[in-house]
Amino acid sequence: MIFFSIIVVIVVLVLEYTLSRSFVDNMEYRSSIDKVLYEPGEQIVLKSEIRNYNRSFVPFVRLREYIPAESLFEEEDKSVYYGTYWVTVEKTVPMKPREKLKKHEIFTLSKRGKYEFGDYQLGAGDIFGWHESTISGCGPHSLVIMPQRASNQDLIRVVEGFIGDISVRRFIMEDPIITIGFNDYTGREPMKDISWTRTAVANKLQVKKYDHTTDINVTVMLNFDGEGEDDLEECIKITRMVVEQFEEAHIPYGFRTNGFVFGPTGYFDSVPKGLGETHLKEILFGLATANCDRVYSFSSLVDKAIGKRRQNENYFIITRELDDTGREALNRLQKHCDGKIGIIVGKEERQ
């Protein structure tokens, strides 16, 4: 009798071992995040789903998800392992036949930048955990943490004063609202510029094209020349505040920089003038992903701006301390500019 029982146990264990090797082949893992752009410290929700397509009970399922090492979790009552590059979040559960298990991880990131993650390892095995077969995959997720917005009230008043000055000039000029044609809607233009009559004729969104000879134009320029990474980080925060101030004031603005700035499709050094959420997010994406290197000098940045200037062009410059060459370039811009130039020198507040 004892011998028979031992044989039965051995057969069961062998059968379970054999079946457990194919469990994971009939399982699937999916994950998603809600959006791409996040504020520093904003909650990020990684939604995950495990599907068990097996017709049998799977006694042991282990999921390992790899999340950026800088992540902070709201809940600490979980299996979390901190490494140099990743935080590994582990969950072990049994799964019923044809069961679908949903879970989510909530974490935050505070440092601006682009984060790519989502790698995983899914394993399944026997009830004792003696054997585990695994599958793994590379992460499809990419998110961007925007820079913080400068909150210094003195700097905010400087920008508000600049906006006030160019707004006064705008109203004392003759009315610039002269429609000379229509363009396809790109997402940069304010909704109020859409011509619904023309849209109905063309069967696609059309926006009015104005005569800009007397309109107000603003270009925001971020200079990467100078010393001190902390001061550059402050310049990036100030730039976010400046473009958002123009957005809130409904003043069309463009963007130019001489730094390594990257958008969803790669490197760029300028964004055409526009307004709206799409336009703003394109610039914030670049500010978030910029590194601390420059592509060309401030003098070259000024020359590019002069070459592309329009009548009544205004400039708002954010920079670290300028050297003699930088000040000469600024003087050159002033000579060619028939609008107003505003400037903020970014310095990190030191204790």
Q: In what order do the strands lie in the sheet with 58-68?
A: 79-82, 86-95, 58-68, 120-125, 132-137
Q: How far, in Å, are 13, 60, 128 from residue 26 at the CA level?
A: 21, 14, 20
**pLDDT tens for each residue of 147-192:** 999 989 999 999 999 988 887 654 444 444 545 567 788 877 777 7
At 206 the pLDDT is 83
At 172 the pLDDT is 40
Token pair recorded at residue 187: 């997402």
CATH for 153-176+214-345 is: 3.40.50
| Count of alpha carbons within 13 angstroms of residue 28, beta-carbon side | 7
**pLDDT tens for each residue of 281-308:** 999 999 999 998 899 999 999 999 999 8
**pLDDT tens for each residue of 88-100:** 999 999 999 999 9
In the predicted structure, residue 213 carries a pLDDT above the cut 50: no
pTM equals: 0.78
Q: Which CATH entry fits the domain spanning 23-145: 3.30.1490.20, 3.40.190.10, 2.40.70.10, 2.60.40.10? A: 2.60.40.10
Between CA 240 and CA 336 the distance in angstroms is: 26
At 324 the pLDDT is 94
Domain positions in the chain: 23-145, 153-176+214-345, 177-210
Query: pLDDT band for position 70 (50/70/90)?
Result: very high
Q: Do domains 23-145 and 153-176+214-345 have the same CATH topology?
A: no
Between CA 46 and CA 67 the distance in angstroms is: 9
Between CA 315 and CA 297 the distance in angstroms is: 17
Query: pLDDT band for position 129 (50/70/90)?
Result: low
Q: What is the mean pLDDT of residues 132-157?
A: 91
**pLDDT tens for each residue of 4-52:** 556 644 544 444 554 445 688 899 999 999 999 999 999 999 999 999 9
At 5 the pLDDT is 57
At 84 the pLDDT is 80
Q: What is the mean pLDDT of the chain?
A: 85
**pLDDT tens for each residue of 263-280:** 888 899 999 999 999 999
Between CA 138 and CA 269 the distance in angstroms is: 31
In the predicted structure, residue 212 carries a pLDDT above the cut 50: no
Cβ atoms within 10 Å of 146's Cβ, excluding its own: 20
